[in-house]
Amino acid sequence: MNKKVYIETYGCQMNVADSETVAGIMHSRDYSAETDINSADVIIINTCSVRDNAEKKIWNRLDYIKSLKRKNKNLKVGIIGCMAQRIAEKLLEHPVVDFVAGPDAYRNLPDLVSETDIGFKLSNTDFDISETYSGIEQLKTGTDEISGFVAITRGCNNFCSYCIVPYTRGRERSSSYKDIIAEVKSLANKGFKEVTLLGQNVNSYLFEDDENKVDFPLLIKMVAHTVPEMRVRFTTSHPKDISDALIDAIAENKNICNHIHLPVQSGSNKVLELMNRKYTREWYLERIKTIKEKIPDCGLSSDIFCGFSGETEEDFQETLDLMNIVGYDLAFMFKYSVRPGTAASKNLEDDVPEEAKKERLSRMIKVQNKISLAKNRADIGKTYEVLVEGHSKRSEEMLFGRTEQSKVVVFPAENAKRGDFVMVKITEASSATLKGIIV
């Protein structure tokens, strides 16, 4: 009888794609996917290390799993992903954990599980610069999924001073464009309506073989032409690499969504230099200007955090000023927390008091909420194509979906269903959500 594996995912969309890859690997070795953690023979937790809170969630989850292991002495528990790569030995000290695997060791997972049967705790956190998981058929978690993810790059070469990713996911490498196209086609054949191309920095995608040299602008055009009925999205973009060619590709291809997530992190040149972001405030604003000129209705979102080493009130005010100039539709905002192992943890003093970080974050959120409300109110009276994602949490009589600008819209169900494209006229707006009616 097949053993059952339950996979739990924390963190970014990249981790969602990785979990689907792991599910495919386990399935190929006669493990069946289990959706109930209480019925699993193997529990795999895919982790994130970007922020301290993400790791705290994992420790709390492991404490809960103790009770499951008391009921089932044969239950195997593994930790994979960035946290496993960063603190493998510490995780193995936890009484619940049987094995750990870093982001380049997922092909080895079935063997790790089997080898724990002899009573030893095991780990594999070796880096493999050639590993892209090309050719592995991902196992999607549902039968009616409409939005799929395809990882096109792994790792990162940017080494932002605050970021742990290059140390947990290794150096950057790109998957074969042929494998990417095949995976996207597979999603289309299964009825998916939208695909998101993923990478720590998708803009730097580059793959060369005997036939072609494919960069990211060319790749996304190839994907768009291959599946003209699907929406195509991508994340995350690094501002230093967003090119005119990519902006033109979005503008010229109808099914590439008019939305760019472009993390700025700070509006101060001094802080950007300390972060090793490799661009200036002026460069970033010039890229935003070009996007707005070539794609007038482009949705813009960002990652921003306050309280980094050396940030003064003047530096912070430059960030708020940049937010007002750009006018983001949405921003993911945080206060800085030191991640062990990063360049910043070794070379920069965490010198902004915690209370100042909290107060600045509060102000930042207020500024963004005001901007988001104004942007959303400007959409009242406009009509957008919306991909229906399901019923609203508040009412079964209401549906919700997203515009190509990635704005959430709630509207009466009428005859629409999950997976449909519908035209919705916007009638109301809050800072977080649009409301409308099908027209």
* Cα–Cα distance for residue pair 167/183, rounded to 1 Å: 28
What does the pLDDT read at residue 53? 82
Element (H, E) at 17: helix 13-28
Q: Does 1 score more than 60 pLDDT?
A: no
Residue 98: other Cβ atoms inside 10 A: 24
- Parent domain of 405: 383-438
Give mean pLDDT, residues 309-313.
98
Bridge partner list, 47: 81
Number of domains the chain is built from? 2
- H-only helix segments in 230-377: 244-252, 269-274, 281-294, 313-326, 343-347, 354-377
* Cα–Cα distance for residue pair 418/84, rounded to 1 Å: 36
pLDDT digits (tens, 9 = 90+) for 138-174: 887 655 689 999 999 999 999 999 999 999 999 999 9
Asked whether residue 201 is assigned to any structural domain, the reply reads no
* Cα–Cα distance for residue pair 313/335, rounded to 1 Å: 14
Tell me what percent of the residues of the chain surpass a pLDDT of 90: 88
* Cα–Cα distance for residue pair 99/89, rounded to 1 Å: 10
Asked whether residue 406 is assigned to any structural domain, the reply reads yes
What does the pLDDT read at residue 142? 56
Q: Which CATH number belongs to the domain containing residue 108 in this structure?
A: 3.40.50.12160
Q: Which CATH number belongs to the domain containing residue 424 in this structure?
A: 2.40.50.140
pLDDT digits (tens, 9 = 90+) for 218-247: 999 999 999 999 999 999 999 999 999 999
Average pLDDT, the chain: 94
Asked whether residue 367 is assigned to any structural domain, the reply reads no
Asked whether residue 130 is assigned to any structural domain, the reply reads no
Q: Quick one: pLDDT band at residue 111, thresholds 50, 70, 90?
A: very high
Asked whether residue 306 is assigned to any structural domain, the reply reads no
Q: Residue 146 has which token pair?
A: 């409409």
Q: Residue 403 has which token pair?
A: 């515009």
pLDDT digits (tens, 9 = 90+) for 40-96: 999 999 998 877 788 889 999 999 999 999 999 899 999 999 999 999 999 999 999
**Residue 166 CA: distances (Å) to CA of 11, 129, 201, 203, 343:** 16, 12, 11, 16, 11
Q: Pick from 93, 124, 155: which residue ends a domain?
A: 124
Tell me what percent of the residues of the chain surpass a pLDDT of 70: 99
Give every strand in the sheet of 330-335, ordered side by side.
259-261, 299-306, 330-335
Q: Which residue has the higher pLDDT, 128 or 288?
A: 288
Strands 76-81 and 42-47: parallel
Instruction: Report CA torsion sign: 221, 222, 226, 230.
Output: negative
CA dihedral 291, 293, 296, 299 (to 10 degrees): 20
Q: Pick from 76, 99, 124: which residue ends a domain?
A: 124
pLDDT digits (tens, 9 = 90+) for 402-436: 999 999 999 999 889 999 999 999 999 999 999 99
